[in-house]
Structure formats: structure tokens, C-alpha cells
Amino acid sequence: MRKDSPSYLNFNNGKYAWKPDIDYRKHPEQYRVGKGEQGVLICEPYKSEIGQNWRFKTEAIAVESSDKIYAQFLDYLASNNFVGADMARKYLQMGYTRARRYANYKGGRKYDAENNYALLERGTGEDEKAKAAAIFYAKWKAAEHDQTYAAMKTEWKKIRG
């Protein structure tokens, strides 16, 4: 497979660390931090709790959405719930990356499925999405630099991965 083709083409569900049939609040020991946004659209009940607030259509919507998700992040930290906090952090990161995708590519599509997954032209997206991305970026970085979160993440990765 080409290096610049989508990673989902040869995705192996069996080897993926996150499973949709696990309640990660009841079984937090099965949660793995992973890289980037991995597991964000799978791990329940956090997917349902946080995902309902995740929007990035406009700058104003991104402000409201990122504020709600960041508040959830802080609530999870206050209740010593690392999995919830990490999932909220991942939603903030995903708000940034998805909004950037729409800012860079018309319709948010990076690859042309009908042309052997060739990269589409960059710079054809929406300026409003770039503003939304900047909003999420600031909240994502604030979450990542939170000292309580950073300590919890270091400890979690040392014990569980």
C-alpha cells in the first residue's frame, strides 16, 4: 500500500486495542491511551457522553462545543476518572484535526476513492473551518498541558499502556 493512502484500507479490527462491547467505566483497566485519537469513536460510555457535544461547523459552534468538552474534561479529572479525561482530550484533538481536514480539502475528503486513493487538491476547503480548528487546538493543548492530567497519563501508561 502506498504511504500516502488512507490507513483504513487494510484496517485489522482484531488487533485494535479498543472494543465496542466493553464498558470502559466499569472496566477502565482495559483502556489504553494509544496514539492520537485512537478509540475515540468506540469507547463507551464516554463516546456517547462527550460525542453529543462535538461540533465544528462554524467558529461559534466550535467555541460552544470545545467549552463543553473541556468542562467535561475538568469534571472527569475532578472525579479522578482518567479514561473520561483522556477521551475528552481526544475529542478536543479530533475537533482540531477534523476541522483542519475540512479547511484543507473541499468536503473534508483527502483521498479520491475512484482514482486509486490519490491525494486530492489541498487548499480547496472552507476558511470557517480553519477558525473552528484554531478554537479546538487551543482547548486540546490546554488539556494536554494540564498538570493533573499529565501526571495521571504518565502513571496510566506506566501501569497499563
Q: What is the domain partition of the chain in residue ranges?
A: 37-159
The reported pTM is 0.85
The answer to whether residue 29 scores a pLDDT higher than 90 is yes
Better-predicted residue by pLDDT, 8 or 62: 62
H or E stretch covering 87: helix 82-104
The answer to whether residue 12 scores a pLDDT higher than 80 is no
Mean pLDDT of the chain: 87
DSSP 3-state assignment of 5?
coil
What crossing angle do the helices spanning 147-159 and 82-104 adopt, rounded to 10°?
A: 110
Q: What is the pLDDT of residue 3?
A: 56
Dihedral, CA of residue 102, residue 58, residue 68 and residue 156, to nearest 10:
20
Identify the burial level of 95 via C-beta atoms within 10 angstroms of its C-beta, where 0-12 means exposed, 13-18 middle and 19 or more buried. buried
Q: What is the pLDDT of residue 1?
A: 43
Q: What is the pLDDT of residue 16?
A: 65
Q: What is the pLDDT of residue 138?
A: 98
